[in-house]
Amino acid sequence: MQAVQTPVIPVVAELIRQTPGTISLGQGVVGYGPPENAFEALNSFAKDPQNHKYKPVQGMPALLEALSTKLNVENEISITERNALVVTAGGNMAFMNAILAITDPGDEIILQNPYYFNHEMAITMANCLPVLVETTEDFQLQPAKIAAAITDRTRAIVTISPNNPTGAVYPAAALEEINTLCRERGIYHIHDEAYEYFTFGSAAHFSPGSIPGSAPHTISLFSLSKAYGFASWRIGYMVAPSSLFESIRKIQDTILICAPVISQFAAVGALQAGRSWCEPKIREIGVVRDLVLRRLAELGDLCSVPRAEGAFYFLVKLRTNLSPMQVVERLVREHRVAVIPGTAFGLDEGCFLRLAYGALDSQTIDEAMQRFCKGVRAICKS
């Protein structure tokens, strides 16, 4: 555990607490809550005393049925005898389930760099080795470099699209290439789709689990936290090869038993509202995204902004010799705006900062970006 990095979100949160009036562009959440259908579903939860007891480890039948329908219609993933659907306490638990199910101590998991820090932390906690493969300047996959990183200890390649922390969206062709590589090398493709609804412009989301013949080697991870404003309710889900089902059940039964039953009821209600409820919310976030881009453009060559057409992040690079954490501290203390340092995502060279814009309305984000831009000018020109 001493080798596991300290989560950066609480560190930045403490800086914010010490500096009242700070606007946070830090944690990756949306600003809205669940649909009304989720709360209406709680009425049936309260009526039955049996709902205060444990439910099946893999999830309640009603939620499994609703998720199976969603996966079939929206992701073109069918639940058959070749795979298994499991409800988890958020997407992070789904990832941990996958890592524990497929690895022995000392095994290797390939991550794209920059990575999502909780993924790297989970691999290290499992006493496995995260192997980092660099992405392009626009944070896109490099299949040839990924293939070269595979060894006889490699157990999986991890991809996230739309991506946290970069906002990059991987084309279907690139994900198909990685999935084929995993099949040919006898390893797993773990694909995180927590931000599947958050695409902008011409970008389109693709689920590798929809590829014919991919079920035996593909592990697909999903979450209600983002699109449905469900973060604190802790509901995620995973589709894994049927050969891993018993291992995943053992892991989840030990750590959790089952996802919170009251949250599962709420999730059934949220899925009844469906994607059509989410889409207007995401369009509003798209308006905020455009405002952030306009403000970043005002910084000129002080700040490079790689292409980001998904999730609700920009991972920008400042022209400064200061470390990312030094810049974060100055932005909070001197300009009352908070961002996340790129070092948390594996970027040890250059001053990268992650900006999260999903939780703020247009007025608040404009004030935050004015503070950010003013701070960047002061820091980069000092």
Query: What is the per-residue pLDDT for 364?
Result: 96
**Strand ordering across the sheet containing 340-341:** 303-304, 313-318, 351-356, 340-341
Residues shown for the chain: 382
d(CA 92, CA 286): 25
Cβ proximity of 233 and 260 under 8 Å = yes
The DSSP bridge pattern shows strands 108-113 and 154-160 to be parallel
Q: Does pTM top 0.75 for this prediction?
A: yes
Residues 6+ apart with CB under 8 A from 22: 15, 16, 332, 336, 337, 338
pLDDT, tens digit, for every residue of 300-341? 999 999 999 999 999 999 999 999 999 999 999 999 999 999
d(CA 61, CA 55): 10
pLDDT, tens digit, for every residue of 258-275? 999 999 999 999 999 999
**Tokens representing 230?**
């469900």
Query: What is the per-residue pLDDT for 9?
Result: 87
pLDDT in tens, the chain (382 residues): 999 998 888 999 999 999 999 999 998 999 999 999 999 999 999 889 999 999 999 999 999 999 999 999 999 999 999 999 999 999 999 999 999 999 999 999 999 999 999 999 999 999 999 999 999 999 999 999 999 999 999 999 999 999 999 999 999 999 999 999 999 999 999 999 999 999 999 999 999 999 999 999 999 999 999 999 999 999 999 999 999 999 999 999 999 999 999 999 999 999 999 999 999 999 999 999 999 999 999 999 999 999 999 999 999 999 999 999 999 999 999 999 999 999 999 999 999 999 999 999 999 999 999 999 999 999 998 7
Query: What is the per-residue pLDDT for 381?
Result: 84
Cβ proximity of 35 and 274 under 8 Å = no
Cβ proximity of 9 and 356 under 8 Å = no
Query: What is the per-residue pLDDT for 174?
Result: 98
Query: What is the per-residue pLDDT for 382?
Result: 74
Query: What is the per-residue pLDDT for 7?
Result: 86
Cβ proximity of 87 and 253 under 8 Å = no
Distance, first Cα to last Cα, the chain: 39
Query: What is the per-residue pLDDT for 139?
Result: 98
Query: For tokens 């080697």, what's the residue?
Result: 217
Report H helices in the chain. 8-18, 36-40, 42-47, 61-70, 91-102, 117-125, 143-148, 172-185, 245-255, 261-273, 275-297, 324-335, 362-380
**Tokens representing 164?**
């946290």
Cβ proximity of 165 and 114 under 8 Å = yes
Report H helices in 126-260. 143-148, 172-185, 245-255
The domains found in the chain, sorted by start residue, are 8-33+276-380 (3.90.1150.10), 36-273 (3.40.640.10)
d(CA 380, CA 367): 20
Query: What is the per-residue pLDDT for 129?
Result: 98
Query: For tokens 């308006």, what's the residue?
Result: 287
Sign of torsion, CA 236 174 313 189? Answer: positive
Can you tell me whether residue 222 is helix, strand or coil?
strand
CA distances from 258 to 48, 215, 226, 264, 268 (A): 18, 24, 21, 10, 15
DSSP string, 295-363: HHHTTGGGEE-----BTTEEEEEES-SS-HHHHHHHHHHHH-EE-EEGGGGT--SSEEEEEE-TT--HH
- The DSSP letter of residue 160 is E
